């Protein structure tokens, strides 16, 4: 499974539609301070369901929407789509049949988010479910942000355990059990 591209529209500094391709095994994004490198990482976290504005370096969810610059008016919505090559079928039990998986999140100024799976509207939960146990997800160890190593070193035992459980692939089953028990 690999991330093959990210499509950004109206997200933070990416006002015009842009596709960032990841054609090779390693991709480096370089550029001057403030050009939007970290915004790309925020986009990946956000589309996977991150619900804390703080984790996206903003104050409210609407802060992810392009809010204008000299000569450009703010826009009303932001959208990010991640495209995965899933030919090995590693993503999503029932969804393993799809060779390509596209996950999209759209937010409007009222703070309402909509999620899409291969173009079809779905729930945030479906997206969370898709990534559980794969090592991907909004707070996953697959994205190592600034300060994350020291947070892990200083983590409380239960936080450390959650990370290990996700890495071992058992968080998906724990979540299912929790849901069953709550029924």
Binding residues for ATP: 32-39
At closest approach, how far in Å is the CB of 36 from Mg ion? 9
The stretch among 15-23, 31-39, 60-68, 85-93 that binds Mg ion (CB under 5 A) is 31-39
Binding status of residue 39 toward ligand ATP by CB under 6 A: yes
Q: On the CB side of 39, how many CA atoms lie within 13 Å of its CA?
A: 23
CA end-to-end distance (rounded Å), the chain: 33
Would you say 40 and 25 are in contact if contact means Cβ atoms under 8 Å apart? Answer: no
Return the residue of 24, 25, 33, 97 that touches ligand ATP, per CB under 6 A.
Answer: 33
Binding status of residue 135 toward ligand ATP by CB under 6 A: no
Would you say 163 and 140 are in contact if contact means Cβ atoms under 8 Å apart? Answer: no
Would you say 76 and 109 are in contact if contact means Cβ atoms under 8 Å apart? Answer: yes
Binding status of residue 140 toward ligand ATP by CB under 6 A: no
The stretch among 7-15, 37-45, 84-92, 108-116 that binds Mg ion (CB under 5 A) is 37-45
- Of ligand ATP, Mg ion, none, which one sits near residue 13, judging by CB under 5 to 8 A according to partner kind? ligand ATP
163 membership: H or E segment, kind and range: helix 157-168
At closest approach, how far in Å is the CB of 31 from Mg ion? 9
Return the residue of 5, 38, 108, 114 that touches Mg ion, per CB under 5 A.
Answer: 38
23 class by beta-carbon count within 10 Å (0-12 exposed, 13-18 middle, 19+ buried): exposed
């Amino acid at each position: 499974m690999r991330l093959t591209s990210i499509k950004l529209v109206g997200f933070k500094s990416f006002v015009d539609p842009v596709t960032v391709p990841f054609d090779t095994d390693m991709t480096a994004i370089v550029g001057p301070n403030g050009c939007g490198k970290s915004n790309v990482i925020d986009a990946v976290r956000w589309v996977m369901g991150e619900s804390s504005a703080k984790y996206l370096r903003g104050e409210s969810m609407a802060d992810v929407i392009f809010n204008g610059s000299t000569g450009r008016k703010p826009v009303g919505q932001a959208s990010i789509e991640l495209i995965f090559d899933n030919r090995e079928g590693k993503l999503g039990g029932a969804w393993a049949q799809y060779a390509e998986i596209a996950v999209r999140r759209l937010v409007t100024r009222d703070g309402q988010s909509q999620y899409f799976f291969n173009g079809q509207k779905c729930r945030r939960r479906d997206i969370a479910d898709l990534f559980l146990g794969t090592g991907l997800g909004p707070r996953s160890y697959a994205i190592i942000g600034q300060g994350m190593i020291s947070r892990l070193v200083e983590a409380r035992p239960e936080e450390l355990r959650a990370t290990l459980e996700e890495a071992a692939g058992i968080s998906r089953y724990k979540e299912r059990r929790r849901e069953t028990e709550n029924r």
